[in-house]
A and B are shown apart, each in its own frame.
Chain A
Amino acid sequence: MGRAGPCWRPSASVDVMRLRAAVLRILRKWFEDRGVLEVETPVLSRAGASDPHLGNVSVQLDGQGYFLHTSPESAMKRLLAGGSGDIFQVCHVFRAGELGQKHNPEFTMLEWYRLGHSLEDMMTDVESLASELCGIRRPLVPFRRTRYRDLMRELAAVDPFTAAVPQLVDALERHGVALPAGTPPQRDELLDLLLAAVVEPALDPAQPVFVYHFPASQAALAQIRPGDPPVAERFELFLGGMEIANGFHELTDTDEQGRRFDRELARRAQQGDCVPPRDDALLAALEAGMPDCSGVALGLDRLLMYLADVDDIRDVLTFDLTRA
Chain B
Amino acid sequence: MASYSTNEFRSGLKILIDGDPFIIVENEFVKPGKGQAFNRVRIRNLKTGRVVDKTYKSGESVEAADVIDTEMQYLYSDGEFWHFMVPDTFEQYAADGHAVTEAKNWLKEQDHCQITLWNNVPLTVTPPNFVELKIVETDPGVRGDTAQGGVKPATLETGAVVKVPLFVEEGEVIRVDTRTGEYVSRVKD
Q: Hey, which bits of chain A sit against chain B, CB under 8 A?
A: 51, 53, 55, 97-103, 176-183, 185, 188-189, 191-193, 195-197, 200, 218, 220, 234, 236, 243, 246, 273
Contacts and interface: CB of A to CB of B under 8 A. Distances in A.
Interface string B132-146: 000000000000000
15 contacts: A53-B34, A53-B36, A98-B29, A100-B27, A101-B28, A102-B29, A178-B55, A182-B57, A182-B60, A188-B35, A191-B35, A193-B36, A196-B31, A200-B32, A246-B33
B76 interface: no
A312 B143 CA distance: 55
B34 A218 contact: yes
B57 A97 contact: no
A243 B32 CA distance: 7
Residue in A97, A101, A273 with the greatest tally of chain B CB atoms within 10 Å: A97
B138 to A, nearest CB: 38
B150 interface: no
Contacts of A182: 56-57, 60
Given A178-B54, A178-B55, A181-B54, A192 B7 contact: no
A102 B28 CA distance: 10
Nearest to A222: B34
Interface residues on B, range: 20 to 34
B158 interface: no
A195 B32 CA distance: 7
A196 B34 contact: no
A220 B32 CA distance: 13
Given A97-B59, A181-B56, A183-B60, A189 B29 contact: no
B114 to A, nearest CB: 13
B37 A97 contact: yes
A196 B36 CA distance: 10
Interface string B39-61: 01000000000001111111110
Given A51-B34, A100-B29, 15 more contacts: A53-B31, A55-B59, A97-B59, A98-B31, A100-B30, A180-B55, A181-B54, A183-B57, A183-B60, A189-B57, A192-B38, A196-B31, A196-B38, A200-B30, A243-B32
Nearest to A172: B55
Interface string B5-28: 001000000000100000000011
Nearest to A237: B33
Nearest to B60: A182
Nearest to A194: B32
Interface in B53-92: 53-60
Contacts of B54: 178, 181
Interface SS of B by simple majority:
strand
Contacts of A101: 28-29
A232 B59 CA distance: 27
Nearest to B5: A97
Contact of A192 (B32, B53, B60): B32
Contacts of B29: 98-103
A102 B54 CA distance: 20
A189 B35 contact: yes
A189 B56 CA distance: 11
Given A97-B58, A97-B59, A101-B28, A178 B40 contact: yes
Contacts of B57: 180, 182-183, 185, 189
A197 B38 contact: yes
Contacts of B55: 177-181, 193, 197
B34 to A, nearest CB: 5
Nearest to B27: A100
A98 B35 CA distance: 12
Contacts of A185: 36, 57
Given A100-B28, A101-B29, A103-B29, A193 B34 contact: no
Top 6 nearest A-B pairs (CB, nearest first) are: A100-B29, A192-B35, A196-B30, A189-B36, A178-B55, A246-B33
A103 B30 CA distance: 9
A260 to B, nearest CB: 12
A236 B33 contact: yes
Interface in B73-121: none
